[in-house]
């Protein structure tokens, strides 16, 4: 089995979203690590650091304005082997549980938005509090920890009384575990890694409020999910299923079967087969797929979707 097949096999196991995030983080870590060794051997580490800073999140606002993409790229960079190892272990354990309760898309969104909110808190704190003024121009953030913390607190808010077993500590409820981790991060803000702990705290805050709002019926991710569908609807109704497949293949492909292929197998048996469903009805069904998956659809909704595809 070649490397490509092994990677595809890994991505097909467990949570696809979690596996994809792990692969991206690992790939970037390996590439940057190899480049570091090469530049080190040629005594050109200053060149390496110059280019890597284009991916790290700067605390300085003028620098951020020159490289705004770092709000995204920083959450896929790591400072060392143990940094990425522990982040990916936590992500694998926590993200897998979140995907089981909420689906693959929610794992990706929580990771990304948790990282964004953690990065924003890092920048805000370094530009507001006087203690950081001497170092703000030379401070950068890297790491997946803010996104992982968002997943942890979201999961703990969703299933607070779920018991987990910790090595050497025994059983503990998820809510107490998340609270302990959060307090450790908060109390460590005064350490040498202040920026990292501030970003972790920001990620945790995002995960908590996201889940609180969701429990109240407000899905903050839904507008973004709808946006991706709208952006893909440039070829009218016949392309709707293709857009869902391409934009959300991570969530809806199972054992090599795409959502489009699964819809092909649906047999329309209603009396009014020629009735064309409205766009509003299709939007409602697509939103339901994004939130709960294909299996959540009723027989009538599947038939409606199949008729729409054939229009």
- For residues 114 and 207, the answer to whether their CB atoms sit within 8 Å is yes
Sign of the CA dihedral 138, 143, 147, 148?
A: negative
Exposed, middle or buried: residue 103 (CB in 10 Å: 0-12, 13-18, 19+)? buried
Name the more confident of 307 and 76: 76
**What's the predicted TM-score (pTM) here?**
0.72
- Does 248 have pLDDT greater than 70? no
- pLDDT grade, residue 62 (50/70/90)? very high
Q: Could you give the count of Cα atoms lying within 13 Å of 43 in the half-sphere of its Cβ?
A: 0
Distance CA 183, CA 163 (A): 19
Find residue 140's DSSP bridge partners: 58
Q: What is the pLDDT of residue 188?
A: 94
Per-residue pLDDT at 180 exceeds 90: yes
Across 237-265, average pLDDT? 47
Mean pLDDT (the chain) is 82
**Sign of dihedral through CA atoms 296, 302, 308, 309?**
positive
pLDDT (0 to 100) of residue 263: 47
Structural domains for the chain: 3-215 (1.20.1540.10), 222-309 (no CATH)
Candidates 229, 271, 224; CA nearest to 246 is 229
Under the banding of pLDDT at 50, 70 and 90, the label for residue 224 is confident
Model confidence band, residue 209 (pLDDT cutoffs 50, 70, 90): very high
Q: What percent of the chain shows pLDDT beyond 90?
A: 57
Express as a percent the part of the chain with pLDDT over 70: 75
């Amino acid at each position: 089995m070649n490397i490509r097949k092994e990677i595809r096999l890994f991505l097909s196991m467990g949570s696809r979203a979690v596996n994809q995030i792990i692969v991206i983080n690992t790939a970037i870590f390996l590439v940057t690590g190899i480049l570091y060794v090469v530049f080190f051997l040629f005594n050109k580490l200053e060149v390496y650091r110059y280019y890597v800073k284009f991916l790290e999140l700067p605390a300085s606002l003028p620098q951020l304005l020159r490289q705004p993409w770092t709000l995204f790229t920083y959450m896929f960079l790591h400072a060392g082997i143990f940094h990425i190892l522990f982040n990916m272990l936590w992500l694998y354990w926590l993200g897998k549980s979140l995907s089981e309760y909420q689906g693959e898309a929610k794992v990706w969104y929580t990771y990304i938005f948790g990282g964004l909110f953690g990065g924003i808190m890092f920048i805000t704190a370094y530009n507001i509090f006087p203690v950081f003024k001497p170092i703000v121009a030379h401070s950068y953030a890297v790491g997946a920890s803010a996104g992982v913390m968002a997943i942890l607190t979201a999961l703990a808010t969703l299933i607070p009384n779920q018991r987990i077993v910790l090595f050497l500590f025994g059983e503990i409820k998820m809510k107490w575990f998340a609270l302990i981790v959060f307090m450790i991060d908060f109390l460590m803000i005064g350490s040498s890694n202040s920026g990292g702990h501030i970003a972790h705290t920001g990620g945790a805050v995002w995960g908590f409020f996201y889940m609180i709002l969701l429990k109240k019926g407000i899905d903050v991710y839904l507008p973004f999910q709808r946006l991706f569908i709208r952006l893909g609807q440039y070829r009218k109704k016949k392309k709707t299923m293709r857009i869902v497949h391409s934009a959300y293949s991570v969530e809806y492909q199972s054992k090599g079967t795409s959502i489009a292929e699964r819809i092909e197998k649906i047999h329309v048996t209603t009396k009014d087969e020629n009735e064309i469903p409205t766009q509003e009805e299709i939007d409602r069904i697509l939103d339901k797929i994004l939130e709960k998956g294909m299996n959540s659809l009723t027989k009538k909704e599947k038939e409606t979707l199949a008729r729409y595809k054939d229009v």
